[in-house]
C-alpha cells in the first residue's frame, strides 16, 4: 500500500508564488514518474507537469516558464514551484505517482488527497 500526502496550498495574490509538496510512503520499490494535475470546479482534471525517474520534465503550455516540477528521490517527494501565479491557476492540485510496489513490481497510479490553490486579490 502506498499513500501520497500533499501540502503547500493556500491563498496567494496574483503574481505571487507557492511551493507544493507531495511525499510518498509505504511499500515502494521505485517511483517511475510523478506528476501534478489541476482541477477547477466543474472541470476535468488536467495534467500540469510530469517528471520521470531520470529527471526529465514536461509542462502544459499554460504554465511553461512559471512552474517548475522537481523530485527528491531520497525523500520520495515531488515539488511544484509555482511562480507568477494567475487567477486562472486557481484549482485543486493533485499529486500523482506511478509506483512499483515491493510485491508486484508493476507500476500502478496513486493519488494525493488534493490541495487547494487560490489566486485572488
* C-alpha radius of gyration, the chain, whole number: 14
β-pairing, 115-119 vs 10-12, is: parallel
Give kind and range of the element (H or E) at residue 21. Answer: strand 18-26
Predicted confidence at residue 93, as pLDDT, reads 98
Predicted confidence at residue 103, as pLDDT, reads 87
Q: Take residue 33 and report the three cell numbers written for it.
A: 514518474
Cβ atoms of 120 and 90 within 8 Å: the answer is yes
Predicted confidence at residue 47, as pLDDT, reads 98
Predicted confidence at residue 84, as pLDDT, reads 98
Tens of each residue's pLDDT in the chain, 121 residues: 899 999 999 999 999 999 999 999 999 999 999 999 999 989 999 999 999 999 999 999 999 999 999 999 999 999 999 999 999 999 999 999 999 988 888 999 999 999 999 999 9
Amino acid at each position: 500500500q502506498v499513500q501520497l500526502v500533499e501540502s503547500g496550498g493556500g491563498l496567494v495574490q496574483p503574481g505571487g508564488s507557492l511551493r507544493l509538496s507531495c511525499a510518498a510512503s509505504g511499500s515502494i520499490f521505485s517511483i517511475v514518474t510523478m506528476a501534478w494535475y489541476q482541477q477547477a470546479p466543474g472541470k476535468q482534471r488536467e495534467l500540469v507537469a510530469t517528471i520521470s525517474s531520470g529527471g526529465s520534465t514536461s509542462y502544459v503550455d499554460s504554465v511553461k516558464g512559471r512552474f517548475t516540477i522537481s523530485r527528491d528521490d531520497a525523500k520520495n517527494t515531488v515539488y511544484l514551484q509555482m511562480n507568477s501565479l494567475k487567477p486562472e491557476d486557481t484549482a485543486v492540485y493533485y499529486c500523482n505517482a506511478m509506483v512499483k510496489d515491493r510485491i508486484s513490481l508493476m507500476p500502478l497510479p496513486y493519488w494525493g488527497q488534493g490541495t487547494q490553490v487560490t489566486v485572488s486579490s
